[in-house]
């Protein structure tokens, strides 16, 4: 046996490079061989396998998806779940093979072309695994993670289109996913759909949008339509022309920024700036010798005017009170950072800690870090 067995996914991933989108890209995927475990085999005891002898039509769809994406069929294991919910998912906790669970509700509601789009999307999660943390209830653990997840879903939609090759079927799939109904009750009319949903974009983005792990269906449809007109996709299906994929990606990223990403990035910046400002105020109040630049590096964009005002307010309090007031106010910003941007704050705190090591601010920064990680533990149980 070779010491470093080849990863059969390397060639497949190279061919799918045009499906990458923002943080969902193959450069973030370790080039490691499949782990060789048999964890996926236990599912054959608990689910009906999607094999030709038991579910011929759906097994044929899965065969087609694997063939179009160039994935060895024996690397993919499909199973039926009796749930009537219109859904399917890839078991991200199993690394030995691609494991797709398809609900009976999806098979009952989708035609074969729509199933190809859906199963291609789910297989994409195995081919391009995007790392983001989740809570015990499967929600993204932070706004950062939700944003990574939204990027990944747009990339998976692209892989689904490569597998299905039918943009109209993809739109029908989206309508059925959003409604839970078949075409007897809903009309897959794109123009009518956009006209009916555009009012939703006349109101500001909210925290509900920031926490969402999937982009809204309307944006996913538009993003996929743009991708279908890209030079990458047209070349994949044997045609010429199309817009450069980089241009398509920018157009989609701009729309994403106008809807939810701009709100998320601005809120994260506001939170980190507030924490940096409080650190600077603490340095002023305690007459620290540490240069303020050392407290505001690594992405901490502070507001010096606000820091001085805060310091003056704290100094005006009784000596026994100012520290508790400071910690109470700072804790609200730390809690916001745990929800919005734990990775960024952790990185900033690590950077600042290195700069103030051995100074009169070392313990104060350490206290802030400990409070931050305590809140992380509380939030994530």
Spatial separation of the C-alpha atoms in residues 322 and 345, rounded to whole Å: 24
pLDDT of the residue at 139: 76
Per-residue pLDDT at 91 exceeds 50: yes
- How do residues 273-282 score in pLDDT, each as one tens digit? 888 888 888 8
Per-residue pLDDT at 298 exceeds 70: no
pLDDT of the residue at 219: 93
Burial class (CB in 10 A: 0-12, 13-18, 19+), 200: exposed
* Signed CA dihedral, 153, 158, 164, 165: sign only: positive
Per-residue pLDDT at 327 exceeds 90: no
**E-only strand ranges, 23-124:** 48-49, 76-81, 88-90, 98-103
Spatial separation of the C-alpha atoms in residues 204 and 33, rounded to whole Å: 45
Radius of gyration, alpha carbons of the chain: 25
* Signed CA dihedral, 267, 269, 270, 272: sign only: positive
* Signed CA dihedral, 149, 151, 154, 160: sign only: negative
Domain-by-domain residue ranges, the chain?
A: 9-243, 266-380
pLDDT of the residue at 340: 93
- How do residues 24-37 score in pLDDT, each as one tens digit? 998 877 766 666 77
Q: Kindly indicate the confidence band of residue 62, based on its pLDDT and cuts at 50, 70 and 90.
A: very high
Give percent above pLDDT 70 in the chain: 92
Inter-helix orientation angle 342-356/322-340, to 10°: 130
Q: Kindly indicate the confidence band of residue 100, based on its pLDDT and cuts at 50, 70 and 90.
A: very high
pLDDT of the residue at 4: 45
- How do residues 220-273 score in pLDDT, each as one tens digit? 999 999 999 999 999 999 999 999 999 999 999 999 988 888 899 999 999 998
Mean pLDDT score of the chain:
88
The more confident residue out of 254 and 375 is 254
Cβ-defined contacts of 41-50 (< 8 Å, 24+): 43/77, 43/79, 43/91, 43/99, 44/79, 47/79, 47/80, 47/81, 47/101, 48/79, 48/80, 49/77, 49/78, 49/79, 49/80, 50/78, 50/79, 50/80, 50/100, 50/102
Residues 118-144 have a mean pLDDT of 84
Q: Kindly indicate the confidence band of residue 3, based on its pLDDT and cuts at 50, 70 and 90.
A: very low
| pTM for this prediction | 0.88
């Amino acid at each position: 046996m070779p010491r470093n067995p080849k990863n059969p996914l390397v060639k497949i991933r190279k061919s799918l490079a045009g499906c990458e989108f923002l943080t969902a890209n193959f450069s973030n995927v370790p080039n490691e061989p499949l782990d060789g475990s048999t964890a996926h085999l236990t599912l054959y005891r608990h689910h009906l396998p999607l094999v030709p002898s038991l579910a011929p039509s759906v097994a044929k769809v899965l065969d087609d998806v694997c063939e179009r994406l160039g994935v060895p069929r024996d690397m993919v294991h499909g199973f039926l779940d009796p749930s009537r919910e219109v859904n399917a998912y890839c078991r991200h906790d199993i690394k030995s093979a691609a494991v797709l669970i398809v609900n009976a509700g999806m098979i009952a509601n989708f035609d074969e072309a729509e199933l190809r789009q859906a199963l291609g999307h789910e297989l994409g999660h195995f081919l391009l695994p995007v790392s983001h943390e989740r809570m015990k209830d499967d929600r993204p653990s932070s706004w950062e993670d939700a944003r990574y997840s939204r990027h990944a879903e747009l990339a998976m939609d692209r892989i689904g289109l490569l597998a299905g090759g039918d943009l109209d079927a993809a739109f029908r799939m989206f309508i059925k996913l959003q409604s839970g109904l078949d075409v007897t009750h809903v009309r897959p009319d794109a123009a009518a759909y956009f006209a009916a949903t555009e009012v939703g974009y006349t109101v500001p983005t909210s925290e509900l949008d920031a926490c969402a792990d999937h982009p809204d269906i309307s944006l996913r449809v538009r993003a996929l339509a743009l991708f279908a007109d890209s030079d990458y996709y047209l070349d994949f299906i044997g045609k010429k022309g199309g817009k450069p994929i980089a241009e398509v990606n920018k157009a989609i990223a701009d729309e994403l920024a106008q809807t939810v990403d701009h709100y998320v990035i601005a809120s994260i910046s506001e939170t980190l700036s507030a924490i940096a400002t409080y650190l600077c105020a603490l340095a002023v109040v305690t007459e620290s010798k540490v240069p303020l630049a050392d407290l505001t590096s690594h992405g901490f964009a502070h507001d010096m005017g606000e820091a001085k005002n805060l310091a003056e307010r704290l100094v005006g309090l009784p000596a026994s009170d100012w520290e508790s007031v400071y910690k109470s106010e700072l804790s609200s910003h730390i809690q916001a950072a745990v929800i919005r941007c734990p990775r960024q704050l952790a990185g900033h705190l690590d950077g600042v800690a290195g700069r103030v090591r051995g100074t009169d601010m070392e313990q104060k920064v350490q206290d802030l870090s400990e409070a931050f990680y305590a809140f992380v533990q509380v939030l994530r149980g």
